[in-house]
Structure 1
Amino acid sequence: MTKDNLHTIKYLVTAIAVTLFFSCSNDFDDVQKVGILQNQPISEAEHIDLNYTEYKDSTVRLLANLLSPKMLDYSNRSFAFQEFPDGIELKIYDENNNKTTITSDDAIVYSETDIIDLRGNVIIVTPERDTMFTEQLYYNQKLEWAFTNESWLFKRAIGPLYGVGFDSDKEFNNFQMLEVGGDFELDN
C-alpha cells in the first residue's frame, strides 16, 4: 500500500467514525427510561407519614398528616401520578386545630391536575363527628372542591342524609346534591 492510499483510508475511517458519532443522539429522557417498564412505578415508598405544615408569625402549624402503608410513584409517565394502593388516612386540621379525618382503600393523586381520586370505603369524619360514606370521591386541591357521582350517606346528629352524586366546598357549606333523601333543613 502506498502512502497516499494509507492516508485516504485513514481519512475515510475518520470520516465514518465522525459521522457515526454525530448521528447518535443522546436524549437524556430516553436514557433514564432504559430498564424501566412503562407500567412500572419509578419508585416505591413504605410506611408513609407526611406532615404538611405552615410557618407563619414565627410559629409552625400542622395543616395535615398523611399516613399510608405504601406509595407508588408514576412520575415517569406522561400523565404523572402517585398511587396509594393500600389505602390512606388523611388528618386535616383547621385554624382552631379541629381535625377532619379521611380514609379510603385506595388513592391516586394526579400531579398535573391536582385531583385526588379516593376509592373504596371512603369515610370522612368531621370535628363534629358527622360522618360521610361513599365508594368514590374526587377532590380538586386547587379549587378545594369535592365531588362524586356515586351514592353516599351522611350521618349527622340531626339525622341521616343520603343520595347519589354531590358537589361541595371543603367545609360542606356550599353543597349541591343530584339525588337526595333523608331529613334535612335548608338555610336561607
Structure 2
Amino acid sequence: MNITIYTKLKSIGVLLGTAMLFSCDNNTQKARDFLADKNLPVGTTKNAFHVYKDSGRITSKLITPKMLDYSNRTAHPYSEFPDGIKIINFENKGLDSVTITGDFALSYAKTSISEIKGNVVVINHADKARLETEQLFWDEKTKYFVSEKAFKLTKENDTIFGIGFESKDDLSKHLTKKTTGKLVTSEN
C-alpha cells in the first residue's frame, strides 16, 4: 500500500513539474524589456577584441576590457565601455593607422556617434600627430572629431594648446579654438 501512495505522489510531482516547464514563456522581447526597465545591459563582454573588415580587408580593431550592450533601448541603443577603449583604424590598405584611446566610452548605434572621455589620446602614426584631451566626440559616418574641452595637439615641431578642437579623424584639416603655443612656419 505504501508503494502505491509513493507512486501516486511521485506521479503528481512529475505532472506538476512538467506543467511548470511548459507554462514558461520563452519570449526574449519580454526579457529585453525587463532589462531595459531596470536599466540593465542585455549583454556584457569581457576582454573584447573585435576586428572590423570591409571586402576582406581589416579596417579597424576595437580592444576593451569590458563592454556593456544596451541595444535593448528603443530610442537610443548604445554600447558602454566603462573600463576604457582602444580603437585602431587602418587606412590606405593598412599603411596608415590612427589609434584612439580613452578611459570611458559610449557608442550610439543609430547615430554612429561615440563619446570618449578621460585621458583621450589620438595618434596618427603616419603623420606623427598626437591629440590629447579629456573628452572627444567622434562621428564615425563623417569621420570627424569634435571637442569643446582643453586640448594639446603635437604635430612635427608644432605644439598647440587650446580649448575647442575639430578635425578629420586622422587629425588633418583641423580647426582649433582659443589657441596658444609655438608654431613653426615657412614662407615661400
Partner in structure 2 of residue 67 of structure 1: 63
Q: Which residue number corresponds to residue 111 of structure 1?
A: 109
Whole-Å separation in 2 of the counterparts to 1:42 and 1:29: 10
Q: How does 1:15-34 map to 2 (within 5 A)?
A: 31-33=30-32
Q: Normalization by structure 2: what TM-score?
A: 0.76
Alignment length, in residue pairs?
157
Do the aligned partners of 2:124 and 2:170 also contact (CA within 8 Å) in 1?
no
Query: Any stretches of 5+ residues in structure 2 without a counterpart?
Result: 1-26
* Larger-Rg structure: 1
Aligned-pair identity (%): 26
Query: With structure 1 as the length reference, what TM-score do the two structures score?
Result: 0.76
CA distance in 1, matches of 2:150, 2:60: 27
Query: In 1, distance between residues paired with 2:59 and 2:106?
Result: 20
Q: Residue in 2 aligned with 1:50?
A: 50
Q: Which residue of 1 aligns with 2:3?
A: none
Corresponding letter in the other structure for 2:147: T
Counterparts of 2:162 and 2:62 in 1: how far apart (Å)?
A: 28
Question: Where do residues 81-100 of structure 1 align in structure 2 (5 Å cutoff)?
Answer: 81-97=78-94, 98-100=96-98
Give 3-state SS (helix, strand or coil) of 1:32's partner. helix
Q: Does 1:122 align with 2:120?
A: yes
Cα displacement (A) at 1:35 = 4.5
Question: Structure 1 94/34 Cα, relative in aligned 2: closer, same or farther at 3 Å?
Answer: closer
Matched, 1:180 2:179: yes
> Is contact 1:108-1:117 (8 Å) kept?
yes
CA shift, 1:71, in A, is: 0.4
Q: Which runs of 5 or more residues in structure 1 are unaligned?
A: 1-27
Judge conservation of contact 1:104–1:118 (CA < 8 Å) in 2: yes
